[in-house]
Every structure is written in structure tokens, then in C-alpha cells.
Amino acid sequence: MTTLPVAAAPVPARRPNYWLGLLLTFIAPGAGFTYLNRIPLHVAWLVAGSAVSLFTESWGTAGTVVALVVTAFLLMHYRDTFAKEAAQDWARPALAQPLKWGIIGVHLVLSVGLQAVFLFTSLIPGMLEARGEAQEAATRSYVMNTYLSVYADSVAGKAKGGDCLRQGGAVPAPKSIVSCRVDVSDPQRPTLTVTTSAGETLTFP
């Protein structure tokens, strides 16, 4: 009696995870469609998302609103596509895993890279500008307070010249100030000269 080998039962294909695809679509617009084996839809949304991004900055607030609306439609389209594929029991031929994840991986890398470039080109200059304004405000505040103190001493007959950084004061000098000198050669009209790290010289009065 000959025993025929029993063929192994086919391993069922792993069903896509809805939330993983949604996350991919949100991070890299359209990538979730390749996850669902729908590369043409991925490409279409990639082109649409790129077009919207080009106009977002020039349109200001209106561009931001358009981008949000497009993102909402993108996520709804992904939801509907997932539901349609699930209703058909995932009958569409699956992409080879290396191809699928290679396409998704490249898009993710490019998407994250572009977002990083956007942060460096928009947020960091703004932060540096805000820091510069804060340093300038601190410098002017210190100069005004120091001069008022010097003038008060002059009126009281206690005028004292020299390096005001060494003399100290009620308000500590900010790091942006390199030197600060008081000239009391004319006790009735003392002069304060301050030099900042930016090379700016401030003289009062």
C-alpha cells in the first residue's frame, strides 16, 4: 500500500492592520494604500499632497485650511478603501513584501527628511530671532537701570567712575554685555558707555 504525501495546508495571508495603514497614510500621505496593495492610489495621493504643500506656505492661513481638508479626505479615502478590500476578503493579489515595504520605507524616509528640513528652515531661524530680541531687551534694561543708579549717585554727591561690571549692581549684567564703564569727569553729567558682544556701543546720555 502506497501512502501519498499529504500536502501542507496553505498558510493564510496575514490581513492588513487598519490602524497601521492609517498611521502610514498620515505620516507619509498615501503610503497606507501601498500597504493595502494599491500602489496607483499611493502615487496619486503623493502627487496631490506634494501639490498642496507647494501652495500651503504662499497661501498662509487659507493654505493651512486646504491642507487640513485634503488630509481629512485622504484619511476617509483610506478608510473606504480598507472597507472595500475587506468586503472582498482581500482578493487582490498581494505585493511581494520586499517591494511593498521598500516603497513605504523610501516614502517614510523622504517624508521625515522633508519635515526635518521644514523645521530647520522655519522654526530655528524664528527661535534665533526671538533669542536675539530677548538679549537686546535685557541689554537695554541693564543699561537703563545702571545709568539711573549712576545718576542717582551723582545727584547725591557719590559719583564713582570705572568698570560698572566690577562694581556690580542691583541688576546683574546679561552675558551679551562685554564692557561697561562710567565716566564721572563731569560729576553733574556722568556718562555710561556699554559695549555688547554684537559690537554695538551704547552711550548714555
Q: Write down the pLDDT at residue 85.
A: 92
Q: Collapse the DSSP code of 89 into the 3-class scheme (helix H, G, I; strand E, B; otherwise coil) and give the result.
A: coil
Mean pLDDT of 113-125: 72
What does pTM read for this prediction?
0.52
Q: Write down the pLDDT at residue 145.
A: 76
pLDDT digits (tens, 9 = 90+) for 67-87: 888 889 999 999 999 999 999
pLDDT digits (tens, 9 = 90+) for 149-173: 777 777 766 767 777 777 666 567 7
The per-residue DSSP string of 5-33 comes to PPPPPPPPPPPPPHHHHHHHHHHSTTHHH
Question: Is 128 or 24 the better-scoring residue by pLDDT?
Answer: 24
Cell of 76: 476617509
In DSSP terms, 162 is beta-bridged to: 182
Burial of 33 (0-12, 13-18, 19+ CB in 10 A): buried
Question: What does the alpha-carbon distance between residue 190 and residue 205 come to, in Å, rounded to a whole number?
Answer: 8
Question: What does the alpha-carbon distance between residue 182 and residue 146 come to, in Å, rounded to a whole number?
Answer: 10
